[in-house]
Structure 1
Amino acid sequence: RRTGAGAHPLATLCRERWLRHDLVADPSVLGLGDLVAVDPADERPNLRDPAPAPAIGTGPDGERVLVVCSVGVDPCVVSAAAELVLRESPDRIVVALPGRDVLPAVERALARLVVPTSILGVACGWDIA
């Protein structure tokens, strides 16, 4: 896969991992100093269904930040973030989504987490020509 390669069916698989890869390469997009991919909360059942792709980074004040990358409307993003909070003990959570996927219903669901959570719409590598 590469930027501008078109919409071949294989290029549409695991886009949340592609998004995480882009953010790990440039964590400043999220206002973080560093970002490292971590294992997901659950094993991915297949390549077609969405599965949140997590990472851990360091914020500007040294806080531990859990980044959860997702694409589309993924009903598992809230439960995955909740499970990852138990494992990773972050100070805050950033859910990174393509801008078009930031929806009020997702924001309301994520607001129920016990850790401060923000949703950020980011540019995706596959949208760049």
Structure 2
Amino acid sequence: ARGAYIKAEAVGGAPEVILIATGSEVSLIMAAHQTLNGMGIRARAVSMPSFELFEAQDAAYKEHVLPSAVTARVAIEAAVPFGWHRYVGAHGKIIALERFGASAPQEVVFRELGLTAEAVVAAARELLGR
């Protein structure tokens, strides 16, 4: 177990933006990955189920998954944003919950709270100025 894995690579070259998620939110970055690559924006999708296991990896693996040259990064988390700043960096964006107490089917709650593939696409495009 390595804590983070490339789920889908950028189409047509090195990634311009990295999308990061865990759990059910991985489906959102996969949809955003498809949309962005379809727009000609080279996006990589990374599933990161464990910060701790990822931190235990050697520097080469961490650089392979999250290359330091790619500063445009978007993380989406259906919980508090704690911990994600380390992986999106100073120039990245975190889409997360800042409040609690929503009750409805997951897709309804996610849509109402802005936890959508469209929000990931918009954040990536904003970071890239596109």
More helix per residue: 1 or 2?
A: 2
Regarding TM over 0.5, the answer is no
TM-score range, shorter chain: 0.3 to 0.5
User: If the length of structure 2 is used for normalisation, what is the TM-score?
Assistant: 0.35
User: Would you tell me which structure has more strand in proportion to its own residues?
Assistant: 1
TM-score (norm. length: structure 1): 0.35
